[in-house]
């Protein structure tokens, strides 16, 4: 079993739809959770991050963490064609300067106009 | 200019050839990383470095080597390229809370 699992998609939705992207993980030491967005032919860029459990909202994006279930989600409201990209979850433990991030395989999202 | 620059952006090479991918950064970060990205597998860590004298193997280091020439430069070498090393390669720098990626190098080994 991989340390971080993510539905690879691809996922196609119409413009304006609510999108839910999800990751599960097995390492209970993970406390720092991130979502990266990767456009075609580009490197990933940090979209959102959150510590521990709970929700964090940034505009149309909401990151949700459920540590008891080892499950994180990214919700995109009113999705736009510009949201079409691959979304990678990433996570790490904290408190260790040398801690590396562990990435999920990514979900490819297409938002159709 | 990009904070993390990779060269070349695309490369086609023959089986058995030695090839070097270069990475430079202007962010002043100590930590630098090389990843490969394959469809369905995500980002796999090849090597990472915490400073010029500290080089560490990642999960898939076999067939690769690295050199940290300076704080700003971290190069990846394939000593004898093989077709299953065909992939998209990313260099990154990292703080404790964020990774910064280059644009990637698409390598094809024929």
How confident is the model over B5-21, as pLDDT tens digits? Answer: 999 999 999 999 999 99
What is the rounded CA–CA span in Å between residue B18 and residue B13? Answer: 9
User: What residues in B contact A44, CB-CB < 8 Å?
Assistant: 43, 90, 99, 101
Both tokens assigned to A98: 């040398």
- Residue A100 pLDDT: 83
- Cross-chain CB nearest to A103 (options B43, B96, B97): B43
pLDDT for A49 beyond 80: yes
Check residue A98 and give its pLDDT. 58
Mean pLDDT of A23-48: 93
Residue B84, phi then psi, degrees to nearest 5 = -80, 5
Residue A9 or residue A11, greater confidence:
A11
| Residue A96: pLDDT over 70 | no
pLDDT of residue A93: 83
For residue B53, what are the contacts with CB-CB under 8 A and spacing of at least 6? Answer: B68
pLDDT of residue A1: 66
The region that residue B79 occupies, defined by phi over 0 for left and psi between -120 and 50 for alpha, beta otherwise, is alpha
Which residues of chain B have a pLDDT value below 70? Answer: 1
> What are the φ and ψ backbone dihedral angles of A81, each rounded to 5 degrees?
-55, -30
Which residues lie below 8 Å from residue A46, measured CB to CB, with a gap of 6+?
A34, A35, A36, B98, B99
- The phi, psi pair for A83, rounded to 5°, reads -80, -5
A78/chain B closest Cα distance in angstroms: 27
The mean of the pLDDT values for chain B is: 94
């Amino acid at each position: 079993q991989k340390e971080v699992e993510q539905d690879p998609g691809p996922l196609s939705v119409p413009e304006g739809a609510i999108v839910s992207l999800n990751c599960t993980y097995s390492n209970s030491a993970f406390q720092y959770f991130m979502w990266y967005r990767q456009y075609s032919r580009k490197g990933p860029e940090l979209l959102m991050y959150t510590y521990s459990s709970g929700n964090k909202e940034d505009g149309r994006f909401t990151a949700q963490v459920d540590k008891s279930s080892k499950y994180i989600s990214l919700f995109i409201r009113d999705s736009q064609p510009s949201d079409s990209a691959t979304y990678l979850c990433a996570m790490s433990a904290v408190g260790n300067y040398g801690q590396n991030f562990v990435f999920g395989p990514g979900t490819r999202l297409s938002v159709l106009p | 200019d990009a904070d993390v620059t990779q060269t070349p952006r695309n490369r086609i090479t023959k089986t058995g050839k030695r090839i070097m991918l270069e990475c430079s950064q202007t962010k002043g970060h100590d930590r630098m990383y090389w990843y490969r990205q394959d469809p369905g597998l995500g980002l796999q860590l090849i090597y990472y470095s915490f400073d010029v004298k500290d080089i560490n193997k990642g999960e898939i280091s076999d067939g690769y080597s690295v050199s940290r020439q300076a704080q700003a430069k971290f190069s990846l070498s394939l000593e004898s390229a093989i077709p299953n090393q065909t992939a998209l390669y990313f260099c990154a720098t990292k703080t404790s809370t964020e990774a910064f990626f280059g644009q990637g190098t698409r390598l094809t080994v024929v």
